[in-house]
Amino acid sequence: MASPAVRDQDNHNDAENSSIGYCGKVMNKVVEFPRKLKKFGQDDPRRIVHSLKVGLAVLLVSLLYYFQPFYNGLGDTAMWAILTVVVVFEFSVGATLGRGLNRILATFLAGALGFGVHHLANLSGDIAHPILIGIFVFLLAASVTFIRFFPRMKARYDYGLLIFILTFCLISVSGYRDEEILEMAHKRASTILIGAFIAVFVCVFICPVWAGEDLHNSVAKNIEKLGSFLEGFGDEYFKVVGSGESNMAHLQGYFSVLNSKQSEETQANFARWEPRHGRFRYRHPWRYYLKIGNLTRQCAYRIDTLSGYLNSEVQTLLNIQNNQVQELCMKMSSESGKALKELAWALKTMTEPCSAASSHITKSRAAANNLKSMLRTNAAAVAGVGGDQVRLLDIVPAVTVASLLSEIVAYAEPIEKSIQKLASLQHVQFKSAERKKPTALTSCKTSSSNVGPHHVITMDRLASLQVQESNKEIGSKFQRIRSAV
């Protein structure tokens, strides 16, 4: 009895933990802790660098206390500088800049508004003063809190809105005289500026981590993961039982793509705060990466469905194993896998996708077309056992896998198009493939002139399409199949 397996990393741990006592568990954790710590640092060494950077920034801001001229001028308000550094310093430049700017702007605006309200309340007399202040504080806190719920505001200005409420309340409520407030505001603004400057300085000039670059790389990496799955799928699905080691672990790389939406959106929001860096100009269209990411995820959902057929007990049926269906499915899978990998490489290196990717896409579509032609010709062709009547049940898994594969193959082209669109957008600098790969480009041009306009064809849509077999290879294969039948 087979039932859908839940991917769950906890089960393993639960089973492991139940066999040992509580003391043993604690001992295990203590012993394993340094090892885990080391591995965690090695997984992404930028974490260690970031930690050291935070230490350095806090150390720098602490020096303000020991640097007498500063301390004499600022006094106890110097603590706002420490507070700012600790709160503003984030992993990526974009996040740090975003928080820093939010904090500075919100403090200035709320400070000015708070001062105005405080002044107004002072004019209104001793009895009305607390009432007026109370009404203002309540209204402002409530309305700004409501604004924080708006997705767009939450994405970019959440921290600023929080600081806005905070500063407004602190200043308008405080019982100081106007002159005292002005002096306090001046000191506080200076220290916050100093703190934010130190945080941003250390973040940007010592091994900076750019959210934009992370987003760029992770979108490319996700496409590559799907490519790796597709390259490996054919071999894994059609492998003769016992013919080799299972490659399942390699095929699970795409899992992380399924839930990548939120991290991509966060990174895109951070990236918009970042200045020009490396290959990315200011106003690089970061939002566009989310569209590519969406397409990648839709493709990943189909791949997840397809992977369900890998776990089935009978992966292939003997009577279709020796025929061309297997060959064509493997070709569809591996060619679209290669195409996705080429596209991922093109995106990652910011080279216009052409030649190799297009030719792989063409080949995978050709294989899909061939398979379609074969299915159109005759039912018996699939069975490959001469004149025997084919039992539909026997071919259901193969037909489903082929149909899903052709759905997935159809995703390679929109992904290619979206990368081409990205390359053509304003503020984007993609290297031209011409300069890089003159020979590859020639082959690309030839192949695209051979195949005519691209057809994105999925098997479920074929019945309504008059497909022109413009590729000679397809034609000859088609003839061979017809004559075989």
44-63 residues near a second copy, rule: CB under 8 A: 47-48, 50-52, 54-56, 58-59, 62-63
- Assess 213 for contact with a second copy (CB under 8 A): no
Residues 74-103 that bind a second copy (CB under 8 A): 79, 82-83, 86-87
Cβ partners under 8 Å of residue 60, min gap 6: 85, 198, 202
Of residues 29, 39, 376, 435, which one binds a second copy by CB under 8 A?
A: 376
| 464 is an interface residue for a second copy by CB under 8 A | yes
Is 104 a binding residue for a second copy by CB under 8 A? The answer is no
Residue selected from 402, 423, 433, 444 as contacting a second copy according to rule CB under 8 A:
402
- The answer to the question of residue 297 lying near a second copy (CB under 8 A) is yes
Among 73, 429, 460, 482, binds a second copy (CB under 8 A): 460
Q: Is 66 in the site for a second copy (CB under 8 A)?
A: yes
Counting contacts by CB under 8 A, is residue 456 touching a second copy? Answer: yes
Which is nearer to a second copy, 222 or 351 (by Cβ)?
222
CB 129 to a second copy: min, Å: 9
Footprint on residues 141-200 left by a second copy (CB under 8 A): 141-143, 145-146, 149-150, 162, 165-166, 169-170, 173-175
Nearest distance from residue 269's CB to a second copy, in Å? 15
Of the candidate residues 254, 411, 430, 478, the single one contacting a second copy (CB under 8 A): 411
Is 389 an interacting residue with respect to a second copy (CB under 8 A)?
A: yes
Count of alpha carbons within 13 Å of 139, Cβ hemisphere only?
A: 9
CA distance 102 to 100: 5
Can you tell me which of 314, 426, 439, 466 binds a second copy, judged by CB under 8 A?
314
- Cβ proximity to a second copy: between 247 and 312 the closer is 312
- Judged by CB under 8 A, the residue of 118, 284, 372, 477 near a second copy is 372
Does 65 bind a second copy (CB under 8 A)? Our answer is: yes
